[in-house]
Structure 1
Amino acid sequence: MGGEKAAVAEGERTQFLPAAVAPGSSILPAAGSAPAPNVAAGPSAILVRQLSAVRLSQALASEAARGATFLCLPVLMAAGAAFYFALSREPGWLALALPVAFLAISTWLLRTRAALSLIFGAFLVFMLGIAVAKLETSRLATPMVGSDVTTRITGRLVRLEHQSSGRIRLTIDLLATERPRLHYPPKRVRLTARAVPPDLRPGDGVAGLTRLMSPSGPVRPGAYDFSFASYFNRLGAVGFFMSGPERVELDEPLPVSARPARWLETARGALAERIRAQVGGVEGEVAVAMIAGFRAGIPEEINEWLRRAGLAHILAISGLHMALVAVTIMFMLRAGAALFPGFSSRFAVKKYAAVAALLMCTLYLFVSGSAVAAQRSYIMLAVMLAALIFDRAAITMRNVAIAALIILVLSPHEVVGPSFQMSFAATAALVAGYAAWTDWRQRRARSGPPPGGILSRVARYGVAFVLGLAATSLIAGTATALYGIWHFQRATPLALPANLAAMPVVSILAMPAAVLAMLAMPFGLDGIFLKVMGQAIAVVIAVAEWFSSHTPIDAVGLIPLSALLTLTAALVVLVVSTTRLRLLALPLIVLGLCFVATRQLPDVLVTEDARLVGLRGLDGRLAVNRSRPNGFTMEGWTRALKAQAVVKPTGGGEGFPDISATSQAGFSCGDGLCLARHSSGTVIAHAAGVTAARAACGAAALIVLDDAVAKNPCGADVPVITKRELARRGSAVVYLREEGEPAEILFSIEEPWRPWHAHRAWSRAARGLPPNEPGS
């Protein structure tokens, strides 16, 4: 058997070698063979090239023997899913079925030719990623309201969350609408209310007068797309109650299939209230987020402290929480079993502990609300615990790949979100780092116990713990920094010391206390453990506040897509390969950093409702045309442009502002027209109507027209972005060119619309209609 395995391994290795270096042949050209095309190359150069080919072939064979081919499967499938979501138009099923069938047949027919089979197989997996993403999009087909509407609704409560502002957020399955009756109503909506009836529980009927609003698009091209998220979360509208909500009796009884979900949501709500009763204030809300998954009650100030300090990950039910729960359960059971040597010697205590940890993590998954991030973390941990139960290596890159494949099949849309990218980047980097450290330890292993007494051993273990925590924070932070910058345009330079200060408190006190509180809750003994958890959280919040106030930088600005893709490829090479092929990551890193260094930030930003315009100045300031701009939009814009200050408009009286007196200090407004001058001398205008826009036609290089009915009043000489165009194509960014060259305008949404943007066609602005007048 051993000889057969050796022969197979040798065959796999040699299939990557060129014919000139096959076993038994010389690395030098055979006598009488044709000369190389480069006749000027000497024998030494030929020898170096062939030796390099041998080393490359050996490295590829070694990677294949270690299972690198399997590790590339989730990478290729994720790339296919991301490619699908980035397409400018929806592909048809026939356009996907034919390439998949061709690639599948070709891979099968070429199975005896390893190189070609590998290439066709890679393209097949890539196309399968596109297919599963297309299947998920077609399966959901979430109906979404296209225009804001006021209507009375009747529905069934799904979830109820208390917000830090004092308002209450309700997720409702819509059953009926009236006055007006919607012909294409959404199936699920999320609404806020000032108050709710007492003892309102999930599953109860609710009714009230509401304002339903369609989910918005990105605040700028490439930003978080609320329409995309709402589509895949099955939310067809957001809004608020104008009166109500009221509890009503529904004619339709609660379906049997929905009763477990109702019981679970009721239990989660009761658990959250019990935690708040034991741990009050902000600490209680953070404890609720860490145990029950309700994060809406945490004040925004606390969220910002945690984000700036690099500690926001403790709020999301993720791999950290699942791992700490599993470790706590396994440690308790194995430590308890160690007190009974006879039992421990006869039974596989580690496997029993792994089973108990898996059951506890399953309970934690449902109690925490089964958010997508929690599902992903649970799948990864379940794969690892199952490997431990069946005597396999638990922490391996193969298990990470299996978890990724499962998630890509179930929820392929997650591949373009920050949660998926940051979670798997951190996990893969940590597993690769752990493997490298294990190999290093094995090479430097020495026999016998380490010298020194008990105190020296304790000191070494303490140092090892601190170094391990630092290495974990450094590796995970470095791997996820790219995606944090891409999605949020912010960096956390003090994340390493902040995590070193806070994570021991979370790992040793907060999460073990949470697990013990859950176990003791049926007996009414959870109070002491929740108090301990609250004290630990208070320490974490204090650490976050201190590091947040001392963070030197936060916003780092936009990075180009080319940098994201190049640096992601470098990360994949680093975590997948184990040989000298890792050196291929170096030129990719250099190239990606070059893309970042040569980036160009946009000069003008425009919201999709055409009401707000931002102009970037060279002095790090962002000038806007409104005195009270939307806070969320401004936060995204200032981070994207690395703006240090926001300049509000001046003027506001009667008469148009003087174009000749317009300066770079900011917008000057009057009589529906706002003007600002860019550092290049270009004048940017925002007009409330056609009359104001005509007044700027002679001098402005770009006009934003906040009128859905009007068209370009200036002709082809001046680019005009109209409200209707923005309603159809979303927010825009503008890159101003040298004088005489046209500006480059990029919109966040392309036509024809993808399914998650198709509802935009039904807004009044997109149809070129004026807004509804009050009372009409």
Structure 2
Amino acid sequence: GEGGQAAAGTGGVLELPMQMAAAAVMALVAGFEVCAVPLRLLRDGEYAWQRMIGRVGHLSLASLLAGLACLPVGMAHFADVGAWFVLANLIAVPLAALWIMPCAMGALVLMPVGLDALALVPMGWGNAVVIWLAHHVAAWPGAHVGVPQMPMWGLGLYFTGLCWLCLWTRPTWRICGVMPIAIAMVTPWMVRAPDVIIPAQGRMLAVVDGPRLLVGPKGHVDSFVLRDWVRVLDRRAVIVDDDMTTPDGRLTCQAGMCVLARGGHRIMMRLRDGTAAASCAGMDGVVILSGALRAVGQGACTDVTPVDYLTLWRSGAQALYLTSHHGVVVRSDRQVRGARPWVMGPGQHGTPNLPMAQAE
């Protein structure tokens, strides 16, 4: 029971809503503590224009602090930075405070007498305005700037800096919290991208080739998965032909069989059904998108790192790194996310590993 509660608590901390809420709250606490005196002087000013600037400044500062605090979290989960969040929040936050939330409270009061629709309908109008605003702001130029995905250790470093800013009130000590935040912001460019990635479905794979993402086989590329890869890795997708060779000669494909050579190691990748069997001799790893390992030649495939349909079924998506010192290093989805109740089990694509709710 205690282990399950600990796992559930860890899962909540690792989820996006909890991280965004925590980052926004810590930034608001630290930021308003620093700006409390000037804001109070404006709010209690002698002239009306001072009080107006104080109110607008209060909302603007809250939007700026919360939005900036959530940017690194977005980099870690979406590999994306939004440039217009301050303007959108300046409209959406007052709308929620003055329209949507009062309607929600009114609906709660009217619900026992069956008149909650009188408040829910206007609340829906307010929600529609917020959604309309989100769609239009998201369509503006520069609204989405792709960046490489921030690693989880970088996100942990960022939250360490935020906690430091909240814990200390002395300026000379508090300013030290900016350093881990600054380091965290450059960690997306400090992480090595995998050499080969394979989704859990096993219908396609991609080879990272400099600024390009070589994806194949042609005709079996999942556009949804490919968009995620392009966004997270910040690279341009190129479909691989059955017969091709990269300019540096490190990737060679012939009749649906590709060989990647990097770091003194080689991986053979079988992209299609019906490809003639080939020997694993001289290979450090083999990837088979269809069929089992024996389809590539059982004789010399005992000392290689295999990734076939059974591996994908058991461990989910795979990322392969070719290193000069450690050979072929494989990281799977199950290794990263762990065997937790909210992580889908082997073969359970799209269905959480949780009991279904009782029907009413």
Partner residue of 2:55? 465
Q: Structure 2: how far apart are the matches of 1:534 and 1:754?
A: 40
Residue 613 of structure 1, CA deviation: 0.9
Partner residue of 1:86? none
Helix, strand or coil for the counterpart of 1:512?
A: helix
For the 8 Å contact 1:617–1:623, the answer to whether it is kept is no
Q: Are 2:290 and 1:704 equivalent residues in the alignment?
A: no
Q: Structure 1: how far apart are the matches of 2:216 and 2:107?
A: 51
Helix, strand or coil for the counterpart of 1:710?
A: helix
Partner residue of 1:721? 307
Q: Structure 2: how far apart are the matches of 1:759 and 1:523?
A: 43
Q: Are 2:175 and 1:577 equivalent residues in the alignment?
A: no
2:77 to 477, 487, 490: 487
**Superposition map of 1:537-686 within 5 A:** 537-552=127-142, 553-579=144-170, 580-625=172-217, 627-630=219-222, 632-644=224-236, 646-650=237-241, 657-658=242-243, 661-663=244-246, 673-675=256-258, 685-686=269-270
Partner residue of 2:45? 450
Helix, strand or coil for the counterpart of 1:637?
A: helix
Partner residue of 1:744? 329
Helix, strand or coil for the counterpart of 1:749?
A: helix
Partner residue of 2:316? 730
Residue 423 of structure 1, CA deviation: 1.3
Residue 733 of structure 1, CA deviation: 0.9
Q: Give per-residue Cα distances to partners, 1:205-254, cap 9 Å, x unaligned.
A: xxxxxxxxxxxxxxxxxxxxxxx9xxx6xxxxxxxxxxxxxxxxxxxxxx
TM-score (norm 2): 0.74
Partner residue of 1:516? 106
**Superposition map of 1:396-545 within 5 A:** 411-438=9-36, 450-452=45-47, 457=48, 459-521=49-111, 526-527=116-117, 529-545=119-135
Question: Quick one: which amino acid aligns to residue 294 of structure 2?
Answer: A
For the 8 Å contact 1:574–1:585, the answer to whether it is kept is yes
Q: Structure 1: how far apart are the matches of 2:111 and 2:314?
A: 53
Q: Are 2:13 and 1:136 equivalent residues in the alignment?
A: no
For the 8 Å contact 1:493–1:551, the answer to whether it is kept is no
For the 8 Å contact 2:42–2:51, the answer to whether it is kept is no
Q: Structure 1: how far apart are the matches of 2:67 and 2:139?
A: 20
Q: Structure 1: how far apart are the matches of 2:179 and 2:340?
A: 39
Percent sequence identity over aligned pairs: 22
Question: Quick one: which amino acid aligns to residue 309 of structure 2?
Answer: K
Q: 1:679 to 1:513 in 2, by over 3 A?
A: farther
Q: 1:605 to 1:536 in 2, by over 3 A?
A: same
Q: 1:757 to 1:583 in 2, by over 3 A?
A: closer
Helix, strand or coil for the counterpart of 1:614?
A: strand
Q: 1:725 to 1:549 in 2, by over 3 A?
A: same
Residue 717 of structure 1, CA deviation: 7.5
User: RMSD over aligned Cα, in angstroms?
Assistant: 4.2
Helix, strand or coil for the counterpart of 1:733?
A: strand
Residue 574 of structure 1, CA deviation: 0.7
Q: Structure 1: 5+ residue runs without aligned partners?
A: 1-130, 138-227, 233-410, 651-656, 765-776
For the 8 Å contact 1:490–1:556, the answer to whether it is kept is yes
Residue 594 of structure 1, CA deviation: 4.7
Residue 746 of structure 1, CA deviation: 2.1
Residue 422 of structure 1, CA deviation: 1.7
Q: 1:501 to 1:741 in 2, by over 3 A?
A: same
Question: Quick one: which amino acid aligns to residue 202 of structure 2?
Answer: A
**Superposition map of 1:115-154 within 5 A:** 132=2, 134-136=3-5
Q: Structure 2: how far apart are the matches of 1:692 and 1:521?
A: 65
Q: 1:710 to 1:591 in 2, by over 3 A?
A: same
Helix, strand or coil for the counterpart of 1:640?
A: helix
Q: Structure 2: 5+ residue runs without aligned partners?
A: 349-360
Question: Quick one: which amino acid aligns to residue 96 of structure 2?
Answer: V
Residue 593 of structure 1, CA deviation: 3.9
Q: Which entry has the higher C-alpha Rg, 1 or 2?
A: 1
Helix, strand or coil for the counterpart of 2:327?
A: coil
Question: Quick one: which amino acid aligns to residue 733 of structure 1?
Answer: A
Residue 734 of structure 1, CA deviation: 1.9
Q: Structure 2: how far apart are the matches of 1:565 and 1:555?
A: 21
**Superposition map of 1:291-302 within 5 A:** none
TM-score (norm 1): 0.38
Q: Structure 2: how far apart are the matches of 1:760 and 1:707?
A: 21
**Superposition map of 1:165-180 within 5 A:** none
Q: 1:497 to 1:637 in 2, by over 3 A?
A: same
Q: Structure 1: how far apart are the matches of 2:246 and 2:279?
A: 15
